[in-house]
Chain A
């Protein structure tokens, strides 16, 4: 039996992370409880750490009201025009829905323990709201702002009014009911861009149209033949992780 020394040089009252340790001396069978890495696990057939493409066509995170706002809001960020579809038609609202319903929305991999004092801009995300709750709260606040200002919800405003609201959001002029304004708007821009340009398996970038618009050939893995073709346009149709239209032909 032995106990650990208190570690560290900080006068901070905390749970001693090991408590009082009991060290049992090595008895039969103990070492066998330790799992050394099994070299057979280095490779196994049919083990691929793949992503399951999102399915369905109904929202599972957004309510009808929230969806109505988001569908218009994302189109302000990336509008439909003669160059190509807007964000909503590209599936970005659907993408956001699935992202916010999943690990990302729940800040699964983030450190989300308090305390939660207000941070400096250089300290990044410092709200206890997960991204899902950040959107939910901000959406409600935006509609409240629109009703107060325009007597109508965001989704029923004219496009020019909607753009004015987005400008106000960008300039941190909209009271978001406690949601940090810059944190929300930065995240909105980031997430819409993600939905527009990510692989279609996540629900956005339908038919890889965004990739076609800019000339990105997608989830390919080999450009050896093109490296030294300086200045030449590469005419490769994009493929996604699940393939491309030209793979559909029946053998």
Chain B
């Protein structure tokens, strides 16, 4: 029998303290409310935790995961389909969630995209155009439109100081930008980053093929920037230790570099670190959250009451907490009924390596979102008739880094070890680059999250179980994108290319993307979704759930921009409607 100590109540309680919690903390403290954030990890500070004096440490930060969550403390089990037995992800690989203040907002690339208008109506738009989807695909519309989210995308881009170039300014197509993007009210706050050689070669090749290349939107500063909160960021130094690392130079947008300097000064904001939330507590009706139960660093258990509880942990952890707290009906893949855990999705990625004979590309001069992309094959930007799939992805040549444990592109047929491998690495290091394709996985009936029946975490709680594989739609999609990438690669006039297509089962081992979406999806009805369009739980109206877990359907883009837009949209509604009259908003 353990003792739980009940603490004085707060107005708003944020579970986790990464991007979404920092944004909400900033917005909701403006109302004068007392806001408390509970973060399971430690405080993280630029000059202490990832200073320029030691941040360029590939072994420590990527391969030993210094900033990531530790599976010994928090992991999930995984299987490809419901007929298999899920086993624990024993070390990180496919995706890299964080722990600690700032969350994965510290080690992200800074690739900051908006989804396409048609992405928000993925089912209705595509069925109208291409006919009914096969029954196995559980794609749903979002119940929110691009137009509704546009001001919030804009707000986040100005918070971060995104470097980029508009492609569609109030309906007018802009040369050099992405002509396929939804209309935006104003230009990006900063011009695109200076471009390195590899992306420029990609741009030239894409243009020759009649495609529409543009500089990728980057949360790496192309110049010094002061955001609307008065927080200054410094110009990017193109050091090549961006994604998977913290920025030692105050040059990549993160909660630390955009919000926390202001938020942490506020007297009505409190942070508790090493406070790991075990579950959301409910009253006897089950319709109202009374607070949370958390465990501190010493293992003591605390009940923290709150009037409003907002889950701001990583997407999968939010879903895990809902399941552990018995909030919402768990999804059942057989009947298709239930909502918690439904429509888990991911990206499908492939690449084409490009080797030059006599061009020096200096891959180590890079930044996390430095690159040139085309959006010609994303979403419904191209005609899918006869292709037998819907959706798409961007094709980009990112020049993020030349970190040598990670970066050794070698031509087709090179052995994996020995003298030939060594020679190939040395010969090609400076003169190769890689084109990525980044497709969205279509929601599928058998891709879902639930509680594992066997494995428990260090607190004795059942682990989250992920059941996931790629299905026909995205396999065809990825093959299509890979073929297009190869065409561009060849048009770059290299010595040779190497195609790394996507086949076989989804594997938990190689890094792919940290874009885990779905599981607590938004929708227009409690029967098809966990939260409404304001990210408010259908079941417990004083509980909101942030993050990519709300995506009913993933898109061919990195999720952070859309996660942020949904968060700001929810914050606005909480401030302007919910607080005036607490209760269900939809």
A interface with B by C-beta (< 8 Å): 4-5, 7-12, 14-26, 30-31, 33-37, 39, 41-44, 47-51, 76-79, 81, 83-84, 103-104, 107-113, 115, 117, 119-126, 163, 166, 170, 189-190, 192-194, 197-199, 201-202, 210-211, 213-224, 226-228, 230-234, 241
Find out whether the CB atom of A9 lies under 8 angstroms from the CB atom of B88: no
| Given A39-B264, A42-B264, A194-B405, A163-B418 contact (CB < 8 Å) | yes
For the complex of A and B, 8 pairs with smallest distance between CB atoms: A17-B460, A219-B56, A109-B70, A230-B197, A214-B429, A197-B404, A198-B59, A37-B271
The chain A residue with its CB closest to the CB of B92 is A109
Find out whether the CB atom of A35 lies under 8 angstroms from the CB atom of B4: no
- Is residue B525 within 8 Å, beta carbon to beta carbon, of the partner chain? no
16 new A-B contacts, CB < 8 A, other than A223-B238, A227-B195, are A7-B324, A8-B324, A18-B301, A25-B6, A36-B272, A37-B43, A51-B54, A78-B418, A122-B508, A126-B87, A190-B63, A197-B405, A198-B405, A221-B56, A230-B200, A231-B197
- 9 A-B pairs (CB sep. < 8 Å): A14-B456, A26-B6, A110-B72, A122-B504, A192-B417, A198-B58, A198-B63, A214-B429, A221-B237
Assembled-state Cα–Cα distance A35/B194 (Å): 45
Find out whether the CB atom of A126 lies under 8 angstroms from the CB atom of B90: yes
User: Taking chain B's interface residues, is the majority helix, strand, or loop, or is none over half, making it mixed?
Assistant: loop
Contact of A120 among B6, B55, B80 (CB under 8 A): B80
| Given A35-B272, A42-B264, A241-B56, A81-B422 contact (CB < 8 Å) | yes
CB distance from A112 to the nearest CB of B (A): 7
Contact of B57 among A51, A126, A231 (CB under 8 A): A51
B415-431 toward A: CB 8 Å interface, digit per residue (1/0)?
01111011101100110
B residues less than 8 Å from A25 (CB atoms): 6
Assembled-state Cα–Cα distance A35/B505 (Å): 46
| Given A7-B324, A111-B90, A234-B273 contact (CB < 8 Å) | no
Find out whether the CB atom of B507 lies under 8 angstroms from the CB atom of A121: yes
A residues less than 8 Å from B248 (CB atoms): 221
Find out whether the CB atom of B249 lies under 8 angstroms from the CB atom of A221: yes
Find out whether the CB atom of A18 lies under 8 angstroms from the CB atom of B43: no
Contact of A9 among B3, B90, B301, B326 (CB under 8 A): B326
A residues less than 8 Å from B207 (CB atoms): none
A residues less than 8 Å from B459 (CB atoms): 17
- Is residue B75 within 8 Å, beta carbon to beta carbon, of the partner chain? yes
CB distance from B244 to the nearest CB of A (A): 14
Count of chain A to chain B residue pairs whose CB atoms are closer than 8 Å in the complex: 289
The chain A residue with its CB closest to the CB of B36 is A36
A residues less than 8 Å from B526 (CB atoms): none
Assembled-state Cα–Cα distance A17/B456 (Å): 10
CB distance from B251 to the nearest CB of A (A): 10
B interface with A by C-beta (< 8 Å): 1-8, 43, 45, 47-49, 51-60, 63-65, 70-72, 75, 78-80, 84-85, 87-91, 93, 193-197, 200, 235, 237-241, 248-249, 264, 270-273, 278-279, 293, 296, 300-303, 323-326, 330, 359-362, 364-365, 402, 404-405, 408, 416-419, 421-423, 425-426, 429-430, 451, 453-456, 459-462, 504-509
B residues less than 8 Å from A192 (CB atoms): 417
Find out whether the CB atom of B75 lies under 8 angstroms from the CB atom of A12: no
| Given A83-B426, A215-B430, A223-B365, A12-B454 contact (CB < 8 Å) | yes
The chain A residue with its CB closest to the CB of B399 is A227
Find out whether the CB atom of A228 lies under 8 angstroms from the CB atom of B87: no
Find out whether the CB atom of A78 lies under 8 angstroms from the CB atom of B422: yes
CB distance from B344 to the nearest CB of A (A): 16
Find out whether the CB atom of A24 lies under 8 angstroms from the CB atom of B4: yes
Contact of A110 among B5, B91, B326 (CB under 8 A): B91
Contact of B87 among A107, A117, A223 (CB under 8 A): A117
The chain B residue with its CB closest to the CB of A41 is B43
Find out whether the CB atom of B416 lies under 8 angstroms from the CB atom of A30: no
Find out whether the CB atom of A125 lies under 8 angstroms from the CB atom of B460: no
The chain A residue with its CB closest to the CB of B74 is A111
B residues less than 8 Å from A49 (CB atoms): 48-49, 54
Assembled-state Cα–Cα distance A57/B51 (Å): 29
CB distance from A221 to the nearest CB of B (A): 5
CB distance from A143 to the nearest CB of B (A): 20
The chain B residue with its CB closest to the CB of A226 is B365
CB distance from A92 to the nearest CB of B (A): 12
The chain A residue with its CB closest to the CB of B425 is A214
A residues less than 8 Å from B64 (CB atoms): 103-104, 109
Contact of B43 among A23, A42, A194, A201 (CB under 8 A): A42
| Given A34-B302, A37-B272, A79-B419, A24-B5 contact (CB < 8 Å) | yes
A residues less than 8 Å from B60 (CB atoms): 51
Find out whether the CB atom of B56 lies under 8 angstroms from the CB atom of A230: no
Assembled-state Cα–Cα distance A196/B127 (Å): 53
The chain A residue with its CB closest to the CB of B417 is A77
Find out whether the CB atom of A234 lies under 8 angstroms from the CB atom of B362: yes
Find out whether the CB atom of A36 lies under 8 angstroms from the CB atom of B271: yes
| Given A9-B326, A23-B4, A37-B272, A123-B417 contact (CB < 8 Å) | no
CB distance from A65 to the nearest CB of B (A): 23
| Given A7-B279, A111-B89, A194-B63, A123-B508 contact (CB < 8 Å) | yes
The chain B residue with its CB closest to the CB of A202 is B59
A residues less than 8 Å from B75 (CB atoms): 111
CB distance from B8 to the nearest CB of A (A): 6
Assembled-state Cα–Cα distance A34/B239 (Å): 40
Find out whether the CB atom of B416 lies under 8 angstroms from the CB atom of A170: yes
Find out whether the CB atom of A227 lies under 8 angstroms from the CB atom of B196: yes
| Given A109-B71, A113-B455, A227-B194, A18-B293 contact (CB < 8 Å) | yes
